[in-house]
Structure 1
Amino acid sequence: MSDHKKIRWGIVSTGRIAQQFCQDMAFVNNGKLAAVAARNINDAQTFAKKYGIEKAYQGYQAMFDDPDIDVVYIATPHSFHYQNAYDALMAGKSVLCEKPITISSEESINLTALAKTQRLFLMEAMWTYFLPAIQQAKQWHDDGLIGKVKHIKADFGYPMPYNSESREYKAEFAGGCLLDMGIYPLAIANYFSESPLSNLLVKSHLAPNGVDDDVIILADAGEVKLTLATSFQCKLQNWAYIIGDQGYIAIPNFWRADQCILYKSDQKLDHFSDNRASIGFNYEAQAVGKAIQDQQVQHPLMPHSTSHLLQQQMEMIKRLF
């Protein structure tokens, strides 16, 4: 695709996730990195140099006002997502915003309403849904290869040493493992069972400053039993299991899955591996680029309704801490 037809990306923030996203843009053929913005101009310039980005801005608004940007990728701490996305949409930019898209249902409803009014694309960056291994697992499920789903088990946790000033733990940044990591087990459960959660049982542990650092969730999703967990206290197995009455699918490191395995009882029936060279953010970026080229305001794989649902579920869980 010629350069002038490519979707031009602006990057908001220069943190770890923004770096990984930019690294993976090398694998995206319908988009290119056009600008980066940070609160500190030196950070923006250093980042721009590292990833071959033409423009570096001090302050996000300056980049939002650049007419040569089509879409911005927001990778700031959780509590800034709403304002950053709001400002970008108001400036006429499409938005891909890191998860969680906002920190309340109300914010998420307001943001999607604004995107629709502005006729601009908006999506929460649930990159997991776009990974080939997750797509393959869904195909096996849809083809009836595991029968009727009975259980979904998923967890995601890594030890994060307690520091009340770190992004992970800082209360003003909406810290805690549920919003940071727990959104992934919820998202994978939603992907394979579209029923609302009921009969919730939550076991949580709070860090000294009151944010959650360990959460276990038991729930029903229609006729499916969910066993989900997230933690800053310890490394969990970080696999997802979609278990049917005729077999099951195992997805190692499901949030960044590069493989999935199909079982019937104890027998391995199939194994898919994507053998990718990228981290995996490119699949989402490619899909967003295409959606914008097709003048869509949301993506069918991660629509606004799924973002609202995840916000509501996290609020329900938090009420049970």
Structure 2
Amino acid sequence: MTNAKFNWGLIAPGRIARNFAEALAVIPDAHLYAVASSNLARAQAFAEEFSGEHALDDYQLLVNDPAVDAVYIANPHRFHYDCIKMCLAAGKPVLCEKPLTVNAAQTQELIALAEQNKVFLMEALWSRFQPAWRQVREWLEQQKIGEIKLLSSTFGVNVPRNNDDRLLNPELAGGVLLDMGVYNVSMSQYVMQQRPVKILAEGVVGETGVDERCSVTMSYGEAASQFTCNFMSNTENSFTIYGSKGFIRIPGMFWVASQTCLQLEGQPAEVFESPFRASGFEYQIEEVMQCVRAGKLQSDIISWQESLTTMQIMDEIRSQVGVRYAFLGE
């Protein structure tokens, strides 16, 4: 497969999937082979726009196609579990949008299935693969800012009020934590490389029953990560890592970072910039392709255990805030 085209199947050609398809165009050996949607016309239009070979209105047909090397899943996270399970049962490697599932129990079950069937599975937390965030990791490993003391981040967008929208719909696992806060949680874990010892969370549960604001402190002993995510106001949306010798700041829209800044005490700032080659999805796509070709079942950058820990943390936050999903039997 190394010297051949890597054939991607894409499930759910919506807005996020466009970023994926744009990124494929800058990876020489990546190919959009098939697109599947519940709406055939939508699949056909997407395939035509991004030079996909096949358009289908049946996910199972895509998954069963022996020419598909891996599947990218981009539908609402309420449906991730079923789609991933379908792919793993068919032996198809999976890259699935964040959050991987709706709760930790679902994630645990899928990890067990991936291990049993010896199939690659990865959560599409694209920020971890971006060059700017890889530079952050390098600075941390070099202990440039000394001991980490505090992480501070926000992810807030003033979302137009529409109770029928997916973001506010409890039947679609709506709520700000799973949609936006997953970045605050996952990137805190990426920085700290350990499970928090204590979590304190509070928030606002709106009229539809989902979280519209979550304010959280995750304690890692002497260090802590404090973040707020919300649907109600536009916030700075930066991520700052404070250490004993200085700090690292990833500026606004930290989850889509092409720049980061290292500021040490008494020294001029060091700015790292790396514009994306395409949409920014290209880096995680390349990781999946390398892993699958190497016969790996999981990525070292975002392992199964890391995705599971993120889900366990978010389960605890939702519990403290008071958000429960009836379709899970909660």
* TM-score (norm: length of structure 1): 0.96
Q: Which residue of 2 aligns with 1:25?
A: 24
Q: Which residue of 1 aligns with 2:4?
A: 5
Q: Which residue of 2 aligns with 1:313?
A: 313
- Hey, what's the Cα distance between the residues in 1 that align with 2:268 and 2:63? 50
- Hey, what's the Cα distance between the residues in 1 that align with 2:164 and 2:4? 43
Q: Secondary structure, in 3 states, of the residue corresponding to 1:27?
A: coil
1:296 and 2:296 are equivalent in the alignment: yes
One-letter code aligned to 2:62? M
| 1:293 Cα deviation after fit | 0.5
1:80-99, aligned counterparts within 5 Å? 80-99=79-98
* 1:262–1:270 Cα contact (<8 Å) kept: yes
| 1:198 Cα deviation after fit | 3.3
- Hey, what's the Cα distance between the residues in 1 that align with 2:182 and 2:47? 30
| 1:164 Cα deviation after fit | 2.5
- Hey, what's the Cα distance between the residues in 2 that align with 1:50 and 1:95? 23
| 1:94 Cα deviation after fit | 0.5
Q: Which residue of 2 aligns with 1:238?
A: 237
Q: Which residue of 2 aligns with 1:247?
A: 246
Please report the RMSD computed on the Cα atoms of aligned residues, expressed in angstroms.
Answer: 1.4
| 1:267 Cα deviation after fit | 4.1
The gaps in structure 2 that reach 5 residues or longer are 322-330
| 1:33 Cα deviation after fit | 0.9
| 1:118 Cα deviation after fit | 1.2
- Hey, what's the Cα distance between the residues in 1 that align with 2:200 and 2:116? 38
* TM-score (norm: length of structure 2): 0.94
| 1:272 Cα deviation after fit | 0.4
Q: Secondary structure, in 3 states, of the residue corresponding to 1:241?
A: strand
| 1:228 Cα deviation after fit | 0.9
Percent of matched pairs sharing the same residue? 34
- Hey, what's the Cα distance between the residues in 2 that align with 1:193 and 1:162? 35
- Hey, what's the Cα distance between the residues in 2 that align with 1:298 and 1:178? 25
Q: Which residue of 2 aligns with 1:173?
A: 172
- Hey, what's the Cα distance between the residues in 1 that align with 2:248 and 2:268? 10
Change (3 A) 1:48 1:37: same
- Hey, what's the Cα distance between the residues in 2 that align with 1:109 and 1:46? 36
Q: Which residue of 2 aligns with 1:285?
A: 285
- Hey, what's the Cα distance between the residues in 2 that align with 1:259 and 1:168? 29
- Hey, what's the Cα distance between the residues in 2 that align with 1:234 and 1:267? 35
Which shows bigger deviation, 266-275 or 50-59? 266-275
Change (3 A) 1:250 1:38: same
* 1:261–1:268 Cα contact (<8 Å) kept: no
Which shows bigger deviation, 251-260 or 264-273? 264-273
Q: Secondary structure, in 3 states, of the residue corresponding to 1:301?
A: coil
Pairs aligned (count): 320
Question: 1:43-70 deviations in whole A, cap 9, x for unaligned?
Answer: 1001000101000011211111111101
Question: 1:254-286 deviations in whole A, cap 9, x for unaligned?
Answer: 211101000013643311000224220000001
- Hey, what's the Cα distance between the residues in 1 that align with 2:207 and 2:267? 46
- Hey, what's the Cα distance between the residues in 2 that align with 1:222 and 1:64? 45
Question: 1:84-116 deviations in whole A, cap 9, x for unaligned?
Answer: 010011122110000110111111011011111
Q: Secondary structure, in 3 states, of the residue corresponding to 2:276?
A: coil
- Hey, what's the Cα distance between the residues in 2 that align with 1:125 and 1:55? 23
Q: Which residue of 2 aligns with 1:157?
A: 156
- Hey, what's the Cα distance between the residues in 2 that align with 1:165 and 1:262? 43
Q: Which residue of 2 aligns with 1:225?
A: 224
Q: Which residue of 1 aligns with 2:147?
A: 148
* 1:196–1:222 Cα contact (<8 Å) kept: no
One-letter code aligned to 2:19? Q
Q: Secondary structure, in 3 states, of the residue corresponding to 2:301?
A: coil
Q: Secondary structure, in 3 states, of the residue corresponding to 2:60?
A: helix
1:271-282, aligned counterparts within 5 Å? 271-282=271-282
1:14-93, aligned counterparts within 5 Å? 14-93=13-92
